[in-house]
Amino acid sequence: MNERADKKAARATADQVAREANVSRVAVSRAFNPNASLKPEKRDRILQVARELNYTPDMAARSLVTGRSHLVGMIVPDVCSPWESQEIDALTTALQAEGFATLLFKAKADFSMDPRLLTYMRGFNPDSVIAFTENILPDVLCGFLDRAVPIYVIYDDVKQFAGAASGTLYDRLLVRQKNGIEQAVALLQGYGARRMAYLGGKAQSLANAERERTLKETLAERGMDAPIVLAGDYTYDTAYQATLDLFRIGEGADAIFAANDVGAFGAIDALRHELGLSVPEDVKVVGFDDIPQAHWKSYNLTTVRIDLEERVRALVRLILMRLRAPDAEPFTETLNTRLIVRGTVG
Amino acid sequence: MNERADKKAARATADQVAREANVSRVAVSRAFNPNASLKPEKRDRILQVARELNYTPDMAARSLVTGRSHLVGMIVPDVCSPWESQEIDALTTALQAEGFATLLFKAKADFSMDPRLLTYMRGFNPDSVIAFTENILPDVLCGFLDRAVPIYVIYDDVKQFAGAASGTLYDRLLVRQKNGIEQAVALLQGYGARRMAYLGGKAQSLANAERERTLKETLAERGMDAPIVLAGDYTYDTAYQATLDLFRIGEGADAIFAANDVGAFGAIDALRHELGLSVPEDVKVVGFDDIPQAHWKSYNLTTVRIDLEERVRALVRLILMRLRAPDAEPFTETLNTRLIVRGTVG
DNA sequence: TTGTACGCGTTATCAT
DNA sequence: ATGATAACGCGTACAA
């Protein structure tokens, strides 16, 4: 047991490094802080000794005195969803490169979050928080934040969170869904679609509400009938069943616009494998997100793309800008969408 | 600006709560520590004041003195993979319930990890670390850990990491892949498969190596020919191409055993949509993992299941046991696999 | 460029 | 059950 304890690298403190290198403890601190002034040769010696002693500055102690945790909180309702897992992946990679670690919290399935959990998160003092969960309003979230300014994704109609107290500070990623939706509708119209169904996402989801609203608006502008709206929740199974119901109980449709790609997959499978209909000949299908699975041959989905790389860059920019200017007015980054044409419309 | 600053909930310290509640700072600390002794009435008053002042104990300060960060590090090569995102999701949920937050780190695609990143992680002083990345050996990882004892997933042949210094302490989750693989082979054999191909995962992956080894062993035991081995990397696209090559350049096969479900999807799509072959009539396909997509109608995949819930429970058990007994001998939890029969063999 | 002294917010120790 | 005091490991103002 002792044998193992010996082998285990003991944590060295700055004091030990200082003693070993014959310098003051402050010098050690400076050696690890690039902008501090220190004779280069001395710094090198210190870093050398630090390596030998297996020393790493303690983030907790550092955080205590600097007020910066180097932690970015992410509140996620469902890590498994392909879109979110992609985003978490890319964001974590990007933040890692900037010296931040990702602190992951899971919200409940209905997009709400236990106040106890928020309180808990607060204790970690994250430098920034990204809420993938859309029904914790900024005011509420800010009540659980100290220095962190949260980032919210908003959509074409900028008035979202209008109910929020005006004094609440949060930064915004504006996603212009209109572009992509308009292109999709034009394509569907061009291929003769007349009776369209909208296969919704989670009712509480703002993204979903805005997609539905924008779709209706676009159809109206182009002189088309309002869509049949099917309740959904972004899952394959619900989409599958809703599609069956649409054709068995309802009057069917000649095009389905799904709130997300996974829902579109459910619709396609229901059409092809249970209703005996062809896609795109009998029914055209469009998705939203352009997740990697969208190009899989079984689906080959025509879909509205949100550019992930661009999105992540924008989020990282927001975080860095805010940390540099904690009291600045709200920042906004904008993101476009566009249609990716594959094989489910035509 | 001041207006906003006022609205922003200022962080209260234990001292402020103590003053407001007319108690000592120590009492406040005790009020938040359930096993500390404190007159209930007094505790209630303190908690009440704390709520009014929006006070939350600072984890960094707490961690500094207790030596426990309440952070669990997860080193992941690819958050997007359906299996891993599922596992991260479930694990985060379970750990949250136990009072731990998830600290996510992304390893490189080749399953290796930058020493700088490991050093960085070390600074956060995680209470435990789960390495989904299989080619950082325990010795190496432990060199970057202080109190945390890492958890490794090992497979049927327990001799893995034999090269690791024997003194290194790490806990093990033993996954018995043999059961599921044996059932799959029996089913394939029963349906007349004779020439089998193994569609591999990442070459560096231990899970993959062991799946291949166990498959070969099982085929030999049952008097069947050794499988044709196709190089893969767990992705759809590579699996798709490898399957095309197998039938166009190679001699084909009457059954494909894929190292993971996503690879099986790629194989199925190549067979059906490009080679004009039927699954399961012409070629039978088996996957591994049983991710949610496996039951989608387009695939309806017969696959070897690893029970996620059970797996997560085992991991959480390992973490808690180790924290309770930091110096105990290595712990091992065991997990079985079993075949889920759907429509791609028959 | 370097070192001294202090403080960050909390819990552990040891009194009472 | 409660309170005073000393840590925990680090960064930073200030003086040299």
What is the predicted pLDDT for the residue at A165? 59
A260-286: average pLDDT: 97
Whether residue A260 lies within 8 A of chain B, CB to CB, comes out as no
pLDDT in tens, B238-262: 999 999 999 999 999 999 999 999 9
On the 0-12 / 13-18 / 19+ scale of CB atoms within 10 A, A288 is buried
Q: Where are the alpha helices (DSSP H) in chain A?
A: 2-7, 14-21, 25-31, 40-53, 59-66, 82-97, 115-123, 138-143, 177-190, 206-221, 236-248, 261-269, 308-324
Domains along the sequence of chain A with CATH: 3-57 (1.10.260.40), 69-175+308-337 (3.40.50.2300), 178-306 (3.40.50.2300)
Q: Are A152 and A138 in contact (CB under 8 A)?
A: yes
What is the predicted pLDDT for the residue at B47? 92
Mean pLDDT over all residues of chain B?
A: 90
Q: How far is CA A97 from the centre of its chain?
A: 18
- Chain C: nucleotides under 7 Å from a protein CB? 1-5, 7-13
What is the predicted pLDDT for the residue at B108? 80
Return d(Cα A183, Cα A178) in angstroms, integer.
9
Is B265–A240 a contact, with Cβ atoms under 8 angstroms apart? no
Return d(Cα A304, Cα B77) in angstroms, integer.
28
Is A125–B167 a contact, with Cβ atoms under 8 angstroms apart? no
Whether residue A276 lies within 8 A of chain B, CB to CB, comes out as no
A276-295: average pLDDT: 97
Q: How close, in Å, is residue B329 to chain A by CA atoms?
A: 8
Q: Which chain B residues are within 8 Å of A296, Cβ to Cβ?
A: 236, 265-266, 269
Q: Which chain B residues are within 8 Å of A9, Cβ to Cβ?
A: 142-146
Whether residue B52 lies within 8 A of chain A, CB to CB, comes out as no
- Higher-confidence residue of A223 and B9: namely A223
What is the predicted pLDDT for the residue at B164? 60
According to DSSP, the residues that pair with B1 across neighbouring strands are none
Virtual torsion, Cα A141, A144, A147, A149, nearest 10 deg: -10
For residue A164, name the pLDDT band (cuts at 50, 70, 90). Answer: low
Whether residue B251 lies within 8 A of chain A, CB to CB, comes out as no
Question: Which residue places its CA closest to the C1' of nucleotide C2?
Answer: A27
Is A144–B9 a contact, with Cβ atoms under 8 angstroms apart? yes
User: Would you say residue A5 has pLDDT above 60?
Assistant: no
Return d(Cα B39, Cα B206) in angstroms, integer.
54
Q: What is the pTM of this model?
A: 0.92
According to DSSP, the residues that pair with B75 across neighbouring strands are B105, B131
Q: CA of A65 and C1' of C7: distance in angstroms?
A: 8
Q: Which chain B residues are within 8 Å of A240, Cβ to Cβ?
A: 297
For residue B8, name the pLDDT band (cuts at 50, 70, 90). Answer: very low
In this complex, the residue of B9, B63, B236 whose CB is nearest that of residue A60 is B63
Q: Which chain B residues are within 8 Å of A274, Cβ to Cβ?
A: 297
Q: How close, in Å, is residue B217 to chain A by CA atoms?
A: 33
Q: CA of B319 and C1' of D2: distance in angstroms?
A: 35
pLDDT in tens, B90-113: 999 999 999 999 999 998 877 667
Whether residue A341 lies within 8 A of chain B, CB to CB, comes out as no
Mean pLDDT over all residues of chain A?
A: 90
A113-126: average pLDDT: 88
pLDDT in tens, B323-338: 999 889 999 999 999 9
Q: CA of A327 and C1' of D16: distance in angstroms?
A: 36
DSSP A35-101: TS---HHHHHHHHHHHHHHT----HHHHHHHHS---EEEEEES-TTSHHHHHHHHHHHHHHHHTT-E
Q: Are A319 and A95 in contact (CB under 8 A)?
A: yes
pLDDT in tens, A55-79: 999 999 999 999 999 999 999 988 9
Tokens 């699996």 correspond to what residue?
B239
* Strand, helix or coil for residue B104: strand
According to DSSP, the residues that pair with A103 across neighbouring strands are A73, B103
Q: Which chain A residues are within 8 Å of B301, Cβ to Cβ?
A: none
User: Would you say residue B5 has pLDDT above 70?
Assistant: no
Q: Are A136 and A115 in contact (CB under 8 A)?
A: no
Return d(Cα B63, Cα B103) in angstroms, integer.
15
Question: Which residue places its CA closest to the C1' of nucleotide C8?
Answer: A65
Q: List strand C contacts in B 27-46 (CB < 7 A).
A: 28-29, 32-33
What is the predicted pLDDT for the residue at B166? 67
**Interhelix angle A40-53/A14-21, nearest 10 degrees:** 120
Return d(Cα A339, Cα A330) in angstroms, integer.
30
Which runs of E-coded beta strand occur in B200-238? 228-230
Q: How close, in Å, is residue B62 to chain A by CA atoms?
A: 9
Q: How close, in Å, is residue B216 to chain A by CA atoms?
A: 30
Return d(Cα A243, Cα A208) in angstroms, integer.
18
Q: Are B232 and B267 in contact (CB under 8 A)?
A: no
The Cα-based distances of A219 to A86, A201, A222, A243, A304 in angstroms read 31, 19, 5, 21, 16
Q: How far is CA B215 from the centre of its chain?
A: 22
Is B92–A102 a contact, with Cβ atoms under 8 angstroms apart? no
Q: Which of A158-172, B43-57, B211-225, B274-288 has the weakest average pLDDT? A: A158-172
Of all nucleotides, the one whose C1′ comes closest to residue A62's CA is D10
Q: Which chain A residues are within 8 Å of B105, Cβ to Cβ?
A: 92, 96, 101-102
On the 0-12 / 13-18 / 19+ scale of CB atoms within 10 A, A272 is middle
Q: Which chain B residues are within 8 Å of A122, Cβ to Cβ?
A: 56
On the 0-12 / 13-18 / 19+ scale of CB atoms within 10 A, A278 is exposed
At residue B342's C-alpha, the angle toward residues B265 and A242, to 5°, is 80
Is A60–B89 a contact, with Cβ atoms under 8 angstroms apart? no
Whether residue A54 lies within 8 A of chain B, CB to CB, comes out as yes
Whether residue B9 lies within 8 A of chain A, CB to CB, comes out as yes
Return d(Cα A101, Cα A95) in angstroms, integer.
7
pLDDT in tens, A23-63: 999 999 999 988 888 888 889 999 999 998 989 999 999 99
Is B79–A96 a contact, with Cβ atoms under 8 angstroms apart? no
Cβ contacts of A45-50, under 8 Å, gap ≥ 24:
A45/A21, A46/A17, A46/A21, A49/A17, A49/A20, A49/A21, A50/A12, A50/A17
What is the predicted pLDDT for the residue at B330? 93
Is A292–B236 a contact, with Cβ atoms under 8 angstroms apart? yes
Return d(Cα B310, Cα B336) in angstroms, integer.
9
pLDDT in tens, A85-101: 999 999 999 999 999 99
Return d(Cα B337, Cα B311) in angstroms, integer.
11
pLDDT in tens, A202-250: 988 889 999 999 999 999 999 999 999 999 999 999 999 999 999 999 9
B211-240: average pLDDT: 96
Whether residue A10 lies within 8 A of chain B, CB to CB, comes out as yes
What is the predicted pLDDT for the residue at B10? 64
* Strand, helix or coil for residue B256: strand
